[in-house]
C-alpha cells in the first residue's frame, strides 16, 4: 500500500500543479508524504524550487511515460 | 425519479434550470421531480464584488431573488443541508426535514477562511463578501498614499482576481491623481506572477510598465497587524500601509463534517463529474476537488454537461458526453480594458491583448449573467 497521497494535476492549466500541491500541503499533517502527478514540464523545476525555499523535503522526481511524478514530504 | 440539487449558486441554478427544460415532459407527467435546497433566498453575482470594492457597482445590483431565477417546475426550499446520508440516498436539513433522492447534485460552493492566517482578518481588506467589499472601498477612498501590498491565499476562488485587483488599484489611484504617492507590491504563491503561464507572460511586462513591484513564491503565513508587516511561509516579509488580501478558501462545513472530502472539496471524476464511489452523486463548481479554476465559469460549463447527462440517462439510459475542463474567464486589465482566457484540460489559453471592447463585453455580461444563470445563454 502506498504511503503517498496522490495529487492528480495532469493536464491542468489553472490553478496548475504547484498551486494544487500547495493546497494539499496546507491540508496535510507534518510528516505526510504527497505525490504530485503533472504533465507540465515546468513542474520539474518549479516544485523543487518552492519545496527548497519553504523548507519541506523533496523525496524524488522522475518522468514516467510523459508524466512527472514528484514526491515530497511536509516538514513543518 | 427524484433529482435533488443542493446549492443555489451559479452551478446549481444553471443545472436545475437546464434540467427543468430538458425534462419538462417528464416533470409534467410526474415521472421526474426536481428539487433544490439552498441556504439563501437570494442569489449573488459574486464577480460583481470586485466592482463594489472600487465603487463601480452598488451592492444591491449583485442580488436577485433565487426563486425568480428558477423554472416554475423546480421545487425550491430555503433549507440548507445539515447532513448527507449517501448510503441511504437522502439528506437532512436545518429544518429537520429528510429529502430522499435517486440522483443528487452537490453544488454547495466554497467560503473564505481568512481566519486561518493569523492577522489577516484584522489586518487586511478584501472584496470576497459584500460587507468586505464596501469596507475596502471606503478604505481606498480614505487612502492618501503609502505602501499597498496584495497577498494571495491558497486555494482561492477566481484565480484571475489577484491580477485584476492589482490593475484596478493602479487605475483607481491614477484616477484620483495620487498614483505617484502609492507604491503597489504584488505577492504570489508560485514562482511566476500568475499560475497560467500565458497570463504571467502578459501581466509581467504590464506590471513593469505601470510600476507594480512583485514578489513570487510568497505564501502568506501571518500578518503582524501592530507593525504592519505581512510575512510569508518562505521567510520573507513586506511592510504595508494598506494590505489587500485574496483570502484562502475551503469548501462548506457540511462537506468536511460529513467527511465527503478533505478541505471541503469532494473527490470528483474529472470527466463524468460524479463523486468518486457514488455514481448517482454529481459534484459541481467550487465543491469539486478537480484541478480546475474555482469560478462561476467552470461551474457553468460543468452544469451543462451534468444536466445533459442526467437527462440522457433518464431518456436513453446512458450519459452522452464528458466535461472537457472548459473554463472561460474575463480578465479586467484595469478600469477600461479587458481580455479573456479560455482553456480546457488539453489546450492552454491563448491570451489576446486587452482592449476596450472586451471590457464593455464584461460590463454587459455583468447584466447578462441573470440570463445566463437562468440557463438561457
Q: What is the pLDDT of residues B62-109, one digit of tens each?
A: 999 999 999 999 999 999 999 999 999 999 999 999 999 999 999 999
Query: Is residue B194 domain-shared with residue B143, that is, in the same domain?
Result: yes
Query: Is residue B130 domain-shared with residue B215, that is, in the same domain?
Result: yes
- Final residue of a domain: which of B228, B248, B268? B248
Q: Tell me which of A14, A29, A65, A66 is the catalytic residue.
A: A14
pLDDT at site A41: 81
Query: Is residue B200 domain-shared with residue B181, that is, in the same domain?
Result: yes
The number of distinct structural domains making up chain B is 2
Contact B191 A15 (CB under 8 A): no
CA dihedral over B52, B58, B62, B66, signed as positive or negative: positive
Query: Is residue B134 domain-shared with residue B230, that is, in the same domain?
Result: yes
- Final residue of a domain: which of B215, B248, B281? B248
> Is residue B36 situated within a structural domain?
yes
> Is residue B359 situated within a structural domain?
no
Give the pLDDT mean for A51-64.
95
Query: Is residue B183 domain-shared with residue B213, that is, in the same domain?
Result: yes
Query: Is residue B316 domain-shared with residue B276, that is, in the same domain?
Result: yes
Contact A22 B292 (CB under 8 A): no
Contact B195 A16 (CB under 8 A): yes
Q: What is the spatial distance between Cα B328 and Cα B26, in angstroms, rounded to a whole number?
A: 32
pLDDT at site B376: 79
> Is residue B314 situated within a structural domain?
yes
- Domain with B149, as residue range(s), is 115-248
pLDDT band with cut points at 50, 70 and 90 for residue A1: very low
> Is residue B80 situated within a structural domain?
yes
- Residues in contact with B285: Cβ distance below 8 Å, sequence separation at least 6, in sequence order: B9, B10, B11, B12, B107, B109, B294, B296, B298, B299, B302, B303
Query: Is residue B199 domain-shared with residue B263, that is, in the same domain?
Result: no
Instruction: Enumerate the H helices of chain A as residue ranges.
Output: 17-27, 43-54
Strand pairing category for B327-332 and B338-343: antiparallel
pLDDT at site B377: 74
Domains of chain A: 4-73 (3.30.110.40)
Q: Which residues of B touch A19 (CB under 8 A)?
A: 154-155, 159, 189-190, 195
What ipTM describes this predicted complex?
0.92
Q: Which residues of B touch A22 (CB under 8 A)?
A: 154-155, 189-190, 219
pLDDT at site A2: 57
Q: Cβ of A36 under 8 Å from any chain B Cβ?
A: no
Query: Is residue B236 domain-shared with residue B304, that is, in the same domain?
Result: no
Q: Which residue of B has its CA nearest to A27?
A: B263
Query: Is residue B173 domain-shared with residue B286, that is, in the same domain?
Result: no
Q: Which CATH number belongs to the domain containing residue B273 in this structure? A: 3.50.50.60
Query: Is residue B180 domain-shared with residue B223, that is, in the same domain?
Result: yes
**Can you list the residues of chain B whose pLDDT is less than 70?**
none
> Is residue B291 situated within a structural domain?
yes
> Is residue B375 situated within a structural domain?
no
Q: Which residues of A touch B256 (CB under 8 A)?
A: none
Query: Is residue B199 domain-shared with residue B142, that is, in the same domain?
Result: yes
- Final residue of a domain: which of B210, B231, B248? B248
Q: How far is CA B344 from CA A13, A17, B298, B329, B350, in A?
A: 8, 15, 10, 12, 11
> Is residue B339 situated within a structural domain?
no
Tens digit of pLDDT for each residue in B277-319?
999 999 999 999 999 999 999 999 999 999 999 999 999 999 9
Query: Is residue B104 domain-shared with residue B168, that is, in the same domain?
Result: no
Give the pLDDT mean for A48-68.
95
Q: Cβ of A20 under 8 Å from any chain B Cβ?
A: yes
Q: How far is CA B228 from CA B183, B238, B318, in A?
A: 15, 9, 58
Q: What is the spatial distance between Cα B69 and Cα B375, in angstroms, rounded to a whole number?
A: 9
- What does the mean pLDDT of chain B come to? 97
> Is residue B310 situated within a structural domain?
yes
Amino acid at each position: 500500500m502506498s504511503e503517498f497521497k496522490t495529487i492528480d494535476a495532469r493536464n491542468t492549466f489553472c490553478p496548475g500543479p504547484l498551486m494544487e500541491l500547495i493546497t494539499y500541503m496546507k491540508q496535510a499533517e507534518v510528516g505526510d508524504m504527497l505525490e504530485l502527478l503533472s504533465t507540465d514540464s515546468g513542474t520539474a523545476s518549479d516544485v523543487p524550487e518552492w519545496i527548497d525555499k519553504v523548507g519541506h523535503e523533496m523525496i524524488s522526481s522522475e518522468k514516467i511515460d510523459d508524466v512527472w511524478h514528484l514526491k515530497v514530504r511536509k516538514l513543518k | 425519479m427524484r433529482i435533488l440539487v443542493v446549492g443555489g449558486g451559479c452551478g446549481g441554478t444553471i443545472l436545475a434550470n437546464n434540467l427543468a427544460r430538458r425534462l419538462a415532459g417528464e416533470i409534467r407527467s410526474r415521472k421526474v421531480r426536481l428539487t433544490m435546497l439552498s441556504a439563501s433566498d437570494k442569489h449573488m453575482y459574486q464577480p460583481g464584488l470586485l466592482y463594489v470594492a472600487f465603487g463601480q457597482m452598488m451592492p444591491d445590483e449583485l442580488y436577485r431573488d433565487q426563486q425568480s431565477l428558477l423554472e416554475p417546475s423546480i421545487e425550491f426550499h430555503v433549507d440548507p443541508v445539515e447532513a448527507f446520508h449517501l448510503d441511504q440516498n437522502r439528506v437532512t436539513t436545518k429544518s429537520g426535514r429528510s429529502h430522499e433522492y435517486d440522483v443528487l447534485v452537490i453544488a454547495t460552493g466554497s467560503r473564505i477562511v481568512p481566519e486561518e492566517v493569523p492577522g489577516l482578518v484584522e489586518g487586511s481588506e478584501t472584496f470576497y463578501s459584500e460587507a468586505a467589499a464596501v469596507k475596502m472601498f471606503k478604505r481606498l477612498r480614505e487612502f492618501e498614499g503609502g505602501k499597498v501590498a496584495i497577498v494571495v491565499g491558497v486555494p482561492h476562488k477566481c484565480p484571475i482576481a489577484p491580477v485584476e485587483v492589482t490593475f484596478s488599484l493602479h487605475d483607481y489611484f491614477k484616477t484620483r491623481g495620487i498614483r505617484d504617492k502609492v507604491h503597489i507590491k504584488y505577492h504570489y504563491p508560485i514562482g511566476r506572477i500568475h499560475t497560467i503561464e500565458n497570463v504571467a507572460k502578459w501581466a509581467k511586462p504590464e506590471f513593469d510598465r505601470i510600476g507594480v513591484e512583485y514578489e513570487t513564491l510568497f505564501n502568506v503565513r501571518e500578518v503582524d497587524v501592530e507593525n504592519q508587516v505581512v510575512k510569508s511561509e518562505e521567510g520573507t516579509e513586506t511592510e504595508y500601509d494598506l494590505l489587500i488580501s485574496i483570502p484562502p478558501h475551503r469548501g462548506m462545513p457540511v462537506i468536511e463534517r460529513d467527511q465527503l472530502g478533505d478541505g471541503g472539496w469532494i473527490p470528483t471524476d474529472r470527466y463524468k463529474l460524479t463523486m468518486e464511489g457514488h455514481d448517482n452523486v454529481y459534484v459541481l463548481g467550487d465543491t469539486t476537488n478537480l484541478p480546475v479554476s474555482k469560478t462561476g465559469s467552470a461551474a457553468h460549463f460543468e452544469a451543462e454537461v451534468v444536466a445533459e447527462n442526467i437527462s440522457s440517462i433518464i431518456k436513453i439510459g446512458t450519459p452522452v458526453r464528458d466535461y472537457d475542463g472548459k473554463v472561460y474567464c474575463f480578465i479586467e486589465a484595469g478600469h477600461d480594458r479587458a481580455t479573456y482566457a479560455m482553456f480546457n484540460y488539453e489546450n492552454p489559453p491563448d491570451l489576446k491583448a486587452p482592449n476596450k471592447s472586451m471590457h464593455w463585453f464584461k460590463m454587459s455580461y455583468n447584466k447578462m449573467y441573470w440570463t445566463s444563470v437562468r440557463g438561457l445563454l
